[in-house]
Amino acid sequence: MEEAANRADIRGNKRFDEHGNLSYFQGYYRGRISPKQRAMLEENFSKVFDQGSDVSHGAIDNSSSWLAAKHERNGRFKTVFKSGGETFEVPGWGESGTGERARYPAFRERQLAEAAQRSGAMTHNVAGNADLNVKFENAPAGAQAYLKYGGLFKSGTVDWGHAMPSSKPGE
């Protein structure tokens, strides 16, 4: 359902169920829908249209695994997600509908911005740096130092300065 919505959106379909969108997909069901099926469909619909599910990572097309492998070899599509026998793809060198390849980058950028807004996520830019300098001068022989780091610091070292020359001749 998510991938079908993506496909309809990038093609500019006015409705999700517009002709040529839903009947393309494996599992298109033309029979009577049971209460159990309806509950599953409504739950999936909510995940896609209310919650902004992105399990297909913005895919706009799908195919069987053998066709997806062919698409990968010839560069027609790039596979982004596999589930069972279905492989979900974004435009590569080719496209299944006119203009999908050219419209995909802006489509995906808008989709991710909407998802961030929906989740309340914010982006932050942090400028600056952190520096830690520990220097020991005139430390007595046998002195030990311990360095503990965390937070901004991913590693740390203790510099004891220049080694004193050996007092033994020839060394």
**Residue 27 domain-assigned (yes or no):** yes
54 touches 115 (CB < 8 A)? yes
pLDDT in tens, 38-49: 899 899 888 888
Is 44 inside any structural domain?
A: yes
- Quick one: how far is CA 111 from the chain centroid? 12
- Does residue 127 sit within a domain? no
Tell me whether residue 43 is in a domain: yes
Average pLDDT of the segment spanning 8-12: 80
Beta carbons of 89 and 71 less than 8 angstroms apart: yes
Domain annotation covers residue 16: yes
Does residue 92 sit within a domain? yes
Whole-number mean pLDDT of the chain?
75
Q: How is 3-44 classified by DSSP, letter by letter?
A: HHHHHHHHHT-SSTT-TTTGGGSTT---SPPPHHHHHHHHHH
Domain count, the chain: 1
Residue-number span of the structural domain to which 95 is assigned: 2-119
> 24 falls in which pLDDT band (50, 70, 90)?
low
Nearest alpha carbon to residue 25 among 53, 10, 38, 6:
6
Give the mean model confidence (pLDDT) for residues 45-65: 84
